[in-house]
Amino acid sequence: MKIEAVLLGTGVGVPVFGRIQSGLVIIADKPLIFDFGAGALFRMTEAGFNPLMMDSIFLSHLHLDHVADVLPLSKARYLLGEEKLNIFGPCGTERWFLAEASLYPYLDLDASIHELTPGYTLFWKGFTITAREAVHSVPSLGYRVSVESRSIVYSGDTEPSFSIADLAKGADLLIHECSFPEPYVVTNHTTPKRLGEVLRGVEGIQRIILTHLYPETIGHEGEMVRDLLASLEADTPVEIGYDLMRISL
């Protein structure tokens, strides 16, 4: 079965021209959303998805640039006659969503919320989905999404993490944040050389897409790819992601 990834948003909380905030759709028989920051609802329609198609959201963490359009999607579905929405995420997801929804009591939403722990695997709408712990300032998860023999790994926001690297073994596609170019030294996020060091020796990753790009990356995209490859010491294809990029496997 073919599996496809559509990058809705490859940006961050700081505005970057042409990049809205984090959002990803993975499609096989059904589509799943992974993160849904500001602008993702608009990008979703640009990509050809109707809100009624999107009933399952997996959140890496609860920072605003990853969740801002979750409630707007809920409202769009409500206005179109569908109240049900399935939301998966780390510890705190239920409290966050109920607090947001409580501000709009006229929305009679029917949200089913599932809090996932690192290491948890579930089977959902034909996908096998495994959550692993990422390294960020709040509880954060990376996800491996598999259908038959195909798999995509999404890091969410994280420092270079051996947990996420292990999750990516044998993946057809790794979508990993790379927020800053060299020589920035940052916590909670990733730079190319550090990512290469963590991924070095991880077997079977077929392709890497870099996302979650701060304004500091502008003009340095080629350098970032070269720095990652030099640190990785492998010839794995590496690309800079962009909004509405489609990858079919």
Q: Which domains does the chain have, with CATH numbers?
A: 4-248 (3.60.15.10)
pLDDT at 191 over 90: yes
Using CB atoms within 10 Å of the CB of residue 149, give its burial: 0 to 12 exposed, 13 to 18 middle, 19+ buried.
exposed
| Per-residue pLDDT at 84 | 94
Cα maximum dimension of the chain? 55
Identify the H or E element spanning 121: strand 121-124
User: pLDDT tier at 108 (50, 70, 90 boundaries)?
Assistant: confident
pLDDT at 112 over 90: yes
* DSSP H helices in the chain: 40-46, 64-67, 70-79, 93-102, 162-167, 192-199, 221-232
pLDDT at 1 over 90: no
pLDDT at 83 over 90: no
